[in-house]
Amino acid sequence: MLLTKTIFRQNCLKKIKKKSKFNSIYKDAKINFLLQKELKRVKNQKILFYIPLLTEANIMKTIKKQRHKSDIFVPFMEGESFKMVPFRLPLKKKKFNIYEAGNSLRKIKNIDIAIVPIVGVDGNLKRVGFGKGMYDRFFAKLKKKPYIIFIQSEFCYTKEIICDDYDITCDVIITPYFRMQNTVMARNRK
């Protein structure tokens, strides 16, 4: 049977949902450690973070630590995509059980770093997300491509090329067990 993006996404989501709650605290701590180490390594003025869902790696510790050093932004859903808004408390529960900061009239046009949750990656290290295409639409509108860090609590990878041309790729993937550099992206940035 031919592997499609939909089948791969379903397999990855099953793997993520089966993860141990006890083990997830340890994995989140490892991801936060590796993410903070990565953010020290790259210049980080303006950073887009995500507010984690229950199935995603909890990076709130890094957000709280980083907000004193950088301009922190988070997604605010608008239609089929989102815009960036400054991270500020309190967060409000919205559609799809996603927590968001309040809306803002401020227009943020560029970011230096984007931290993006993923469900899985294909052979080109392109993102397989939850299937709504919000990140793909958002990144298509940006004039300058930021340094993109994929975060994955359960590594889910296929060697197959199953993603579309418009799916985003990363500079680095961070999982609880390792950091993987996208060598193609590293060459393109030089």
- Express each pLDDT in 122-171 by its tens digit: 989 999 888 777 888 888 888 888 999 999 988 899 998 988 888 889 99
With 80 as the cut, is the pLDDT of residue 37 above it? yes
Q: Using one digit for the tens of pLDDT, what is the confidence trace for 49-94? A: 998 988 889 999 999 999 888 889 988 777 777 778 888 777 788 7
| pLDDT score recorded for residue 182 | 84
Find all residues with CB under 8 Å of 46, minimum gap 6, and list them: 70, 71, 73, 108, 110, 111, 112, 113
- Domain range enclosing 118: 5-189
How far is the C-alpha of 94 from the C-alpha of 77, rounded, in Å?
Answer: 9
How far is the C-alpha of 177 from the C-alpha of 26, rounded, in Å?
Answer: 11
What CATH number should be reported for the domain holding residue 108?
A: 3.40.50.10420
Q: Indicate the length of the chain as a whole number.
A: 190
How far is the C-alpha of 42 from the C-alpha of 114, rounded, in Å?
Answer: 12
| pLDDT score recorded for residue 142 | 86
Judged by DSSP in three states, 58 sits in: coil
| pLDDT score recorded for residue 47 | 93
Q: How many domains does the chain divide into?
A: 1
Q: Mean pLDDT over all residues of the chain?
A: 85
Count CA atoms closer than 13 A to 51's CA, side-chain side: 24
The answer to whether the beta carbons of residues 151 and 128 sit under 8 Å apart is no
pLDDT top residue among 108 and 96: 108
